Amino acid sequence: MDKPKARPGGGGRRPLGALAHSMPVLIIYAVLLVMLVVLAFVSPRFPSLALTNSLMLSALPLVFAALAQTLVVLVKGIDISVGPLISLVMVVAAALMHDSGWSIAGVVALCLLIGMAAGALNGALVVYARLQSIIVTLATSLIFGGLALFVMPQPGGSIPGSVAAFVTGNVGVIPNTVFILAGCLLFLWLPVRKSRFGQGWYAVGGNETGAFYSGVAVSRVKMSAFIFAGLFSALAGLVLAAQTMTGDPAMGAPYTLNSIASTVLGGTSLAGGIGGAIGAMGGAFVLTIVVDILFFFRVSSYYQYVFSGAIVIIALAIVTTTEFLKSRRAKAVPADDQGHPGGVPK
């Protein structure tokens, strides 16, 4: 056999390496840092355990909702049913923990199962019935919302103090919520992200036909994203119930749009295939803290929504501008003089 003379390829290792595609994530964490500094100046409670604890508590349900949304968006979908599913899980938890024969662990397990079943329903309708995710989840959001009202027509039920303390308490100076979040990320998200399913989300989101031709089990990959999304929505519902110590069939609703906003803020592309948990977390924290800051500035709570919307637009403008400038720069690089754009034989 002839030794191949040409060596296609080229381009050295880039100095930025892994950071090259993390620009949106870096931006959102920069914004978060600025907000924390502002908060430090305006909050009389800074620095204190109470402040971090209340911040973490108010952010945690949205963080979980954002993780759920990010999963679905990664595989080119969108999940409108996140909010109503949170409501459903919340009222089931509050109703069953209130007074029934159920053990607490049993209720938690049931709630997580409800979430996964709901995600599986969404996924099956998208993957096997080939319906659009926005239509499917719009329909199932009505179903989940209706079921929540069926379980609990108005706010009620209760959560045992032990459960609430588990979520709201702290170990030394570290709030329990930090452990809960870290535990879920390390033992739930990370293993799946590093498995074939996790790789599949990015492969399918980036090029579904190509992934199919590469031998990726596209249907199973998409199902896994929806089921995990349901699981994270259920976690959001459980945390919300423990925090408020009650059940409210309307409380989950705002999480649908806020989870989409967090996902987008966190650098996840609505076109699929780009993004992840770290960014989604950052987005959720920014959206939560902005409300706190505005509270200290005594801005009416109605205006807080206006600010949240403005932040989403500004952050997106920054991200798209930097991406645009980057692509302009990339295009400006001329082909080398031998006429091989990039693939330089050595």
Partner 1 sequence: MIDSLLRVADVGKAYVGNPVLQHIDLELKPGRAHALVGENGAGKSTLVKILSGGIRHYEGRLELEGRPYRPTSPADAQAKGIVAVQQELSLSPFLPVYQNLWLGKRLPGSGAFVLNRDLARRSDELLERYGVSMDTSRWVSDLSLEEQQVVEILKALAFDPRVIIFDEPTSSLGAANTRWLLDLMAGLKARGCALMVISHRLPEIMELADDITVLKDGVKVATVERRAVSSADVVRMMVGRDLEDIFPPKPSRASLDAGAAVLEAEHLRADGVADLSLRVRRGEVVGLAGLEGQGQHALLLALFGVNPPLGGSVAIAGAAAKLHSPSQAIREGVGLVPVDRRTEGIVLPLSISENIALATLERRQRFGCMDRAREQALVDATMAELAIHAPGTQAAVETLSGGNQQKVVLGKWLATQPKLLLLDDPTRGVDIGARSDIYHQIRGIAATGVGILINSTDTIELVGLCDRVLVMFEGRIVSELAGAGITEEAIIGAAVGVKGEHPDG
Backbone φ and ψ of 174, nearest 5°: -105, 120
- Judge if the upstream peptide bond of residue 44 is cis by omega within 30 degrees of 0: no
Closest separation in Å from C-beta 199 to partner 1: 5
Task: Check residue 345 for interaction with partner 1 (CB under 8 A).
Answer: yes
Closest separation in Å from C-beta 172 to partner 1: 34
Distance (Å, rounded) from C-alpha 102 to C-alpha 115?
18
Nearer to partner 1, 171 or 335 (CB): 335
Task: Check residue 210 for interaction with partner 1 (CB under 8 A).
Answer: yes
Closest separation in Å from C-beta 185 to partner 1: 17
Q: How many residues sit in the footprint of partner 1 (CB under 8 A)?
A: 50
Please answer whether residues 177 and 57 qualify as being in contact, where contact means their C-beta atoms are separated by less than 8 angstroms: yes
Closest separation in Å from C-beta 78 to partner 1: 18
Distance (Å, rounded) from C-alpha 150 to C-alpha 146?
6
Task: Check residue 215 for interaction with partner 1 (CB under 8 A).
Answer: yes
Among 5, 130, 298, 329, binds partner 1 (CB under 8 A): 5
Please answer whether residues 84 and 295 qualify as being in contact, where contact means their C-beta atoms are separated by less than 8 angstroms: no
Distance (Å, rounded) from C-alpha 32 to C-alpha 37?
9
Binding flags for partner 1, 54-93, as an x/- string (CB under 8 A): ----------------------------------------
Nearer to partner 1, 209 or 300 (CB): 209
Nearer to partner 1, 12 or 101 (CB): 12
Task: Check residue 6 for interaction with partner 1 (CB under 8 A).
Answer: yes
Encoded tokens for 345: 């034989």
Other Cβ atoms less than 10 A from the Cβ of 168: the count is 18
Among 129, 171, 313, 335, binds partner 1 (CB under 8 A): 335
Task: Check residue 217 for interaction with partner 1 (CB under 8 A).
Answer: yes
SS3 105: helix
Binding flags for partner 1, 175-204, as an x/- string (CB under 8 A): ----------------x--xxx-xx--xx-
Nearer to partner 1, 136 or 216 (CB): 216
Give residue for tokens 């995710």: 133
State how far Cα 67 lies from the chain centre. Answer: 2
Nearer to partner 1, 18 or 129 (CB): 18
Task: Check residue 23 for interaction with partner 1 (CB under 8 A).
Answer: no
DSSP 244-260: HTSB-TTTTTTHHHHHH
Closest separation in Å from C-beta 208 to partner 1: 9
The interface region with partner 1, picked from 36-44, 209-217, 243-251, 298-306 by CB under 8 A, is: 209-217
Length of the chain, in residues: 346
Other Cβ atoms less than 10 A from the Cβ of 242: the count is 27
Distance (Å, rounded) from C-alpha 243 to C-alpha 176?
12
Task: Check residue 343 for interaction with partner 1 (CB under 8 A).
Answer: yes
Distance (Å, rounded) from C-alpha 196 to C-alpha 214?
13
Nearer to partner 1, 185 or 217 (CB): 217
